[in-house]
Amino acid sequence: MPHVRPSIADKRRAFHKLHEAGCFAIPNPWDVGSARFLQGLGFKALATTSSGFAWSHGHRDGGMSRDRVLDHLTEMVEATDLPINADFESGFAPDAAGVAESVRLAVEAGVAGLSIEDSTGNASRPLYEPDTAVDRIRAARKAIDKAGGSTLLVGRAECFLVGRPDIEHTIYRLKAYGNAGADCLYAPGIRTPEQISAVVAGVAPKPVNLLMGWPGDLTMREIAALGVRRVSVGGALARSAWGGFMRAAKLIAEQGKFDGFADAASGNTLNTIFGGN
């Protein structure tokens, strides 16, 4: 019997359902192969990674154009049966109208969710002023609603990633984004159970995404006990792959040794995994 692919509407409904209760992992593939492998492991949803995608094309994080990101999102949506949440950076525009246009295009690409950051990319003024940041989230919400309303909107407060680790201000921003229409809230960079619990309590009943992009003591079970709804890893899987590649390549270049292939996946294994695609 031929496999019946879920529709975009099906994926979006499933994605919203995941956010209603419990805690789920939403790992971040950077290309079609890594996405299909993660689907095969049984994950229920995936999120793109702006950094992983950029590195795979020889660019820094944030160095890809909107058009290339949109093409990537379309490819990722078509590659798997799972809902795809777009790491949509800062909406590829400084103003609310530009964010709305970018979001419209991302919704047309078929994503089940997308996130909008409040970082400016300007080191001297790393965060948009709260009112401007709220206007950008509100514009994203209106663009989604105009397109049908079923794409989940994630509001991101980048305070901890840009050197402003103020938990109270972070929660203030997240609550404002929730009030402006964000369905899920996200403060990448918080790490301690105390910080995580404070964010979860501060934005309740909105669901919270937690970034786990480093080795740590917290497990999925412990994170769930803190009230987090979903756990992403950002560029960590891509960095792990790059780490293995770089170590193996440096051994050849610097020592003429091939020991770096000891932990490599076999060609037969990879052919088996992707044989049906």
- Listed in sequence order, the residues at least 6 apart from 122 whose beta carbon sits closer than 8 Å to its beta carbon are none
List C-alpha distances in Å: 137 to 95, 207, 220.
Answer: 11, 16, 29
- Structurally, the chain folds into a number of domains equal to 1
**pLDDT, average across residues 107-111:** 98
Q: What residues pair up with 86 in beta bridges, in sequence order?
A: 114
pLDDT at 195 exceeding the cut of 80: yes
* Reported confidence tier of residue 1, pLDDT bands at 50, 70, 90: low
Asked whether residue 101 is domain-assigned, the answer is yes
pTM for the full model?
0.96
- Listed in sequence order, the residues at least 6 apart from 258 whose beta carbon sits closer than 8 Å to its beta carbon are 248, 251, 252
Domain with 94 in it: 8-236
User: What pLDDT sits at residue 217?
Assistant: 83
**pLDDT, average across residues 237-248:** 98
**Residue 25 near residue 63, CB atoms below 8 Å:** no
**pLDDT, average across residues 7-16:** 98
User: Per residue in 70-106, pLDDT tens?
Assistant: 999 999 999 999 999 999 999 999 999 999 999 999 9
Asked whether residue 247 is domain-assigned, the answer is no
* Reported confidence tier of residue 241, pLDDT bands at 50, 70, 90: very high
Q: How many helices (H) and strands (E) does the chain have?
A: 11, 8
User: Per residue in 160-182, pLDDT tens?
Assistant: 999 999 999 999 999 999 999 99
Q: What is the CA radius of gyration of the chain?
A: 19
Asked whether residue 243 is domain-assigned, the answer is no
Asked whether residue 24 is domain-assigned, the answer is yes
CATH number at residue 126: 3.20.20.60
User: Per residue in 213-230, pLDDT tens?
Assistant: 988 889 999 999 999 999
Asked whether residue 267 is domain-assigned, the answer is no
